[in-house]
Amino acid sequence: GQNIDQPTEMTATEGAIVQINCTYQTSGFNGLFWYQQHAGEAPTFLSYNVLDGLEEKGRFSSFLSRSKGYSYLLLKELQMKDSASYLCAVTLGGGNKLTFGTGTQLKVEL
């Protein structure tokens, strides 16, 4: 089976750092994605992790621990435009399809 858990909502201050966690219990785990989705828009790709460790890309970093079934997305130097939903998603087995969590709604305040 598969179960992907993320916090429903988070609030953070402009300029701060925020960590969004994602845990999963899946059989045949292959890799993990993070997507950003602004209200009324399509999701856009942020990161992909298949091996344990940290992947850094500008202000955004993503971490994966396969043994713990755990990932986080780290957003640094928060900006108002970072207010969005952040979706954790996993590929299983043959890696042909992506299963999404329900997303974490991040609100960045002044």
Partner 1 sequence: NAGVTQTPKFRILKIGQSMTLQCTQDMNHNYMYWYRQDPGMGLKLIYYSVGAGITDKGEVPNGYNVSRSTTEDFPLRLELAAPSQTSVYFCASSTTKAGGMRELFFGSGTQLSVL
- CA dihedral of residues 102, 105, 24, 88 (deg, nearest 10): 80
Candidates 58, 81, 94, 110: give the one binding partner 1 (CB under 8 A): 94
99 contacts partner 1 (rule: CB under 8 A): yes
52 contacts partner 1 (rule: CB under 8 A): no
Contacts of 87 (CB under 8 A, 6+ apart): 34, 35, 36, 37, 43, 100, 101, 103, 104
Q: How far apart are CA 85 and CA 40, in angstroms?
A: 11
What residues does 62 pair with on adjacent strands? Answer: 55, 73
For partner 1, the closer of residues 69 and 103 by Cβ is: 103
Candidates 24, 33, 34, 63: give the one binding partner 1 (CB under 8 A): 33
41 contacts partner 1 (rule: CB under 8 A): yes
Contacting residues toward partner 1, per CB under 8 A: 4, 30-31, 33, 35, 41-45, 48, 50, 87, 91, 94-103
